[in-house]
Amino acid sequence: MIQDTIAEIKNPALSIQDLCVYYDQNKAVKNVSVDIKKNTVTAIMGPSGCGKSTLLRALNRMHELYDNIRTEGKVLIHDQNIYDVPAIKLRRQMGMVFQRPNPFPTMSIYENVIAGYKLNGIRLKKGEKDEVVERSLRDVALWDEVKDTLHKKGTFLSGGQQQRLCIARALAFGPEIILMDEPTSALDPIATSKVEDLLVKLKENYTIILVTHNMTQAARISDYSLFMYLGELVEYGKTKNMFTNPIDPRTEQYLTGKFG
Amino acid sequence: MNTTENIRLQDTSKGRQLKDKLILGLVILLSLITISPIVLIIGKLVAKGYRQISLEFLIKNTPDTYTAMTALANGERIPGGIANGIVGTLIMVVLASAIAIPVGIIVGIFLYENPGKRLANFTRSLSDVLQGVPSIVLGLISYLWVVKHVTNGYSALAGAVSLAIMMLPMIVRSTEETLKMIPNTLKEAALALGTPYHKVILRVLIPTGFSGMFTGILLGISRVLGETAPLMLTALGSSMINLDISKPTSAVPLLIWEFYNDPNMIDLIWSSSLMLMAIVLILNLISKQIAKKTK
Ligand SMILES: Nc1ncnc2c1ncn2[C@@H]1O[C@H](COP(=O)(O)OP(=O)(O)OP(=O)(O)O)[C@@H](O)[C@H]1O
Ligand SMILES: [Mg+2]
């Protein structure tokens, strides 16, 4: 059930068309069609197990790693189906932040931030590297905490710091779209609000798709919201409208805490 | 709580203390039984072998039996050493590693990448079978392949091939197991940055699993260091240092066998064994240290 306002999205950052994802025979995402507006934060909400992560991971073709997962449908980026673009190129356009922090254990904090360049064999001058590292770490409000220990292993950081490091790693490579799977679920309230402020700031230059369990977070920072239930897209619209005036009874029940 | 109950409580706690002590005693006893062979072996080797160990022992070739007999008759230390064996062992172990490490790591990565595929399962079973093949049989195979057809005679190369076949399954297994322990999320993190797959393996998976793979390699090396049987059929032995890998060469375990068969040189058994044992122990300690450091 798509609200009228959505019909207006022109020139979307991503156009998801009839997307299905199967784990073996289990259809975890069912015929989802959505246009994601550029330079917005779009929140994906829904109870645990409804397919939020599965939908998100279909967008940068993460599922291709696993033989038992199959996807159907189309996702257009710049009017091109993501399945027609080389996966490597696609993933450079889409940064991803995972549910659990996963810094590279063999790399220092510094190397983790520029891992995108390092792993892709893109050489930067020392000055450029320093600049990318500092800017990315400042963006995620981690710079002051780690500026004296940049050459220590990233895995020595606390869970919340590691997650911000992973966000910095995704930002450093300059993607167009950032996919985030509950990026703040491991953070304390202060770090969470820092990351939220960051997302609001980032949407000037990036399009952000954010899976979140936290409804107040979705209400605070997202422009559009997408509510999923049992693999289906139930409702999609401007966050303000969805929170004040949900159309589908299941959305209303979820938002008022009846389930989820 | 009345007094009789109190006493009963104390009783049971006393009984429990006794039981704890008994179990502790048993554990200590069993541990002693476990470590006693290694302590006894090292003790014996040191006691009987230390007299022969000197710089000369490391840099001189083995004496002939007549020299040894004369020294024995005069009650002197046997002159000469095991340099030919040490050099031979080094050459063959380095050659064997040069063959087995790259092949083993590549096969291990292949097994990790294709867990369910039929070819992978087949390879894995074969590798397990290979691990169980008696080393003398591997020597025989290398004899048929290398001695007969490549070097046309006993050679260091043939010895190295038999040792390489022996190391191979250990390296394959440790590579696969180590890679399997790396969480998938790390692979995903690298791929999500647009990293090409081969670079994910080379720049993320292998460095992350390096210590585990390295431990496997060191254990493989320390295993083949002491092998005697396959070398009898391949490297044969030599009383001189020989750097030509197409010619017969000596090895420390081969020398021990030769000393055993020569009543005049029997004293050298202990010192040579001590050397071999020391190298193996050091390798083991290094691999333990590396495993601990990266945990
Ligand atoms: N690797 C997998 N193999 C098989 N089934 C899976 C796998 N991952 C998820 N599923 C199934 O797909 C469905 C959707 O899972 P998904 O992880 O997308 O949910 P989610 O909305 O992200 O939940 P959460 O909020 O708990 O993270 C679930 O029913 C789950 O059981
Ligand atoms: Mg999830």
Q: Mean pLDDT lowest for which of A4-13, A178-187, B220-229? A: A4-13
Q: Is A81 helix (H, G, I), strand (E, B) or coil?
A: strand
How close does chain A come to B203, measured CA to CA in Å? 7
The percent of chain A in helix, strand and coil, each rounded to the nearest 5, is 40, 25, 35
Rounded to an integer, the average pLDDT of B41-53 is 89
Between B232 and B9, the higher pLDDT residue: B232
Which run of H or of E encompasses A103? none
Alpha-carbon dihedral A226, A229, A233, A234, rounded to 10 degrees: -80
Residue type, A139: D
Pairing of β A177-181 and β A207-211: parallel
- Give the whole-angstrom CA distance, residue A17 versus residue A152: 44
- Give the whole-angstrom CA distance, residue B81 versus residue B278: 16
Asked if the model's pLDDT at residue A168 lies above 60, the reply is yes
| Out of B185, B192, B194, closest to residue A120 by CB | B194
pLDDT of residue B33: 94
Structural domains of chain A, ranges and CATH numbers in brackets = 12-256 (3.40.50.300)
Asked if the model's pLDDT at residue A194 lies above 90, the reply is no
CA distances from A79 to A12, A62, A144, A205, B46 (A): 9, 20, 41, 20, 78
pLDDT of residue A160: 83
Residues of chain B found within 8 Å of residue A116, distances taken between Cβ atoms:
193-194
Residues of chain B found within 8 Å of residue A63, distances taken between Cβ atoms:
none
CA angle A25, A30, A33 (to 5 degrees): 150
What is the token pair recorded at B43? 């003790």
For the beta carbon of residue A91, count every other beta carbon within 10 angstroms: 24
- Across chain B, mean pLDDT equals 91
Number of A:B CB contacts under 8 A?
72
**B192:A120 CB<8 A:** no
**B203:A118 CB<8 A:** yes
Residue type, B251: A
- Give the whole-angstrom CA distance, residue B42 versus residue B207: 36
How does DSSP classify residue A8? G
Backbone angles phi, psi at B263, to 5 degrees: -60, -25
- Give the whole-angstrom CA distance, residue B266 versus residue B89: 21
Model confidence at A139, pLDDT cuts 50, 70, 90, reads confident
On whether the CB atoms of residues B228 and B257 are closer than 8 A, the answer is yes
On whether the CB atoms of residues A103 and A160 are closer than 8 A, the answer is no
pLDDT of residue B257: 94
Cα-to-chain-centroid distance, residue A220? 16
Pocket of ligand 1 (CB under 6 A): A 23, 26, 28, 46, 48-54, 213
- Give the whole-angstrom CA distance, residue A228 versus residue A48: 10
**B193:A115 CB<8 A:** yes
pLDDT of residue B5: 59
Pairing of β A224-229 and β A232-238: antiparallel
Asked if the model's pLDDT at residue A124 lies above 70, the reply is yes
- Give the whole-angstrom CA distance, residue A168 versus residue A117: 13
- Give the whole-angstrom CA distance, residue A58 versus residue A72: 10
| Out of B116, B188, B204, closest to residue A65 by CB | B188
Predicted TM-score of the model (pTM): 0.83
- Give the whole-angstrom CA distance, residue B127 versus residue A205: 53
Model confidence at B15, pLDDT cuts 50, 70, 90, reads confident
Interface of A to B at Cβ within 8 Å reads 60, 62, 65, 67, 88-92, 94-96, 98, 100, 102-106, 115-116, 118-121, 166, 169-170, 173
- Give the whole-angstrom CA distance, residue B72 versus residue B69: 5
How does DSSP classify residue B247? S
Backbone angles phi, psi at B249, to 5 degrees: -145, 165
Residues 197 to 216 of B: which have CB under 8 A from any A CB?
A: 199-200, 203-204, 207-208, 210
- Give the whole-angstrom CA distance, residue A70 versus residue A188: 36
Q: Where are the alpha helices (DSSP H) in chain B?
A: 3-49, 55-59, 65-73, 83-113, 118-132, 135-142, 148-149, 156-181, 184-192, 197-199, 206-225, 229-234, 252-260, 266-293
**B192:A121 CB<8 A:** no
**B186:A102 CB<8 A:** yes
| Out of B194, B203, B210, closest to residue A92 by CB | B194
User: What are the pLDDT digits (tens) for B244-289?
Assistant: 999 999 999 999 999 999 988 988 999 999 999 998 989 888 888 8
What is the token pair recorded at B275? 């050397």
DSSP string, B54-78: SHHHHHSPPPPHHHHHHHHHTTPPP
Nearest-CA residue of chain A relative to B189?
A102
CA distances from B29 to A132, B21, B32 (A): 61, 12, 5
How close does chain B come to A111, measured CA to CA in Å? 12
- Give the whole-angstrom CA distance, residue A50 versus residue A28: 7
Q: Is B79 helix (H, G, I), strand (E, B) or coil?
A: coil
Q: Is B246 helix (H, G, I), strand (E, B) or coil?
A: coil
Cα-to-chain-centroid distance, residue A93? 12
pLDDT of residue A159: 83
- Give the whole-angstrom CA distance, residue B229 versus residue B251: 11
Rounded to an integer, the average pLDDT of B78-91 is 93
Asked if the model's pLDDT at residue A192 lies above 90, the reply is no
Task: Say whether residue B37 is in contact with chain A using an 8 A CB cutoff.
Answer: no
| Out of A62, A105, A115, closest to residue B188 by CB | A62
Exposure of B214 by Cβ count < 10 A (0-12 exposed, 13-18 middle, 19+ buried)? middle
User: What are the pLDDT digits (tens) for B93-152?
Assistant: 999 999 999 999 999 999 999 888 999 999 999 999 999 999 999 999 999 999 999 999
pLDDT cut 90: percent of chain B above it: 71
Asked if the model's pLDDT at residue A186 lies above 80, the reply is no
Distance A53 CA to ligand 2 centre (A): 4
